[in-house]
Amino acid sequence: MRLHRPRHLVPLGAAMAFLLSGCAGEAEKATPGQVTASAKAPKTPEAPKTSAPDRGRPWEPDDALQRAERALDAQDDGSRPERAESGSAYLADGVRRTFRAPGKRWYRLDLTCDTSGVQEVTLTLTRGSTEQAYGIGCGDPEADQFNIPPGAPFTARVDAVRTGTGLVLWRLNTVTREDVDGCDDDIDGCGG
C-alpha cells in the first residue's frame, strides 16, 4: 500500500502565510488602542447584575442565606435586642406578615435581601390606615432597621418579584425605649 501525500496542504500553507502577513501589516497601521475589524472579540451576553459580593459566581441560595444572616448580625449598635420572630422567603413569594406588637418594649424590624438580577425591593409598613414604603438595597452588608412602637398590630410587606432570584430575611426584635436609634416610629414617619 502506497501512502498518498496530499498536495493541497502546501498551497494552503502558503496562502495562510500570505494572509497572516497581510493582517500583521494592518495591525501595524492601526493607531494605539484602536481595534481592527478582524481583531474584534466576539460579543458575549452580559451576565446579570447581582447583589452578591462575588459577581463572578452564580447566585446560590445557601451562600445567599449566609450573606443575609451576616447582614442581620452586623447590627451591633450596643442595644440588647430580644428576638421575637424571624423568617425568610424567596423573592418570588414575597413577604406579608402581620405582627401583634403587644407589651411595652419597642419593636425593631431588621430586613435584608440577597438577590441576583434585582438591586432593590420595597418594604411597606402598615398600621391601621397609616402606611410607609422604603427601598431596601439588596446585598448590603448591614440589614435595614425600622422602629415600631408597641401597641396595635402592624404589617410588613415585600411584594413578590418574579424578574430575578433571591431571598428576603427578616428579624423582629424588641428593644427598650432607650435603645431606639433614629426615628421613634418608622410607620408614622419622622420626616423633617
68-123: per-residue pLDDT in tens? 999 998 866 667 889 999 999 999 999 999 999 999 999 999 999 999 999 999 99
Listed in sequence order, the residues at least 6 apart from 122 whose beta carbon sits closer than 8 Å to its beta carbon are 133, 134, 135, 136, 158, 159
pTM above 0.85, yes or no: no
Rg of the chain, C-alpha, whole Å: 29
168-191 pLDDT, tens digit each: 999 999 999 998 988 999 999 886
Q: Which three cell numbers stand for residue 174?
A: 424588641
Count of alpha carbons within 13 angstroms of residue 54, beta-carbon side: 8
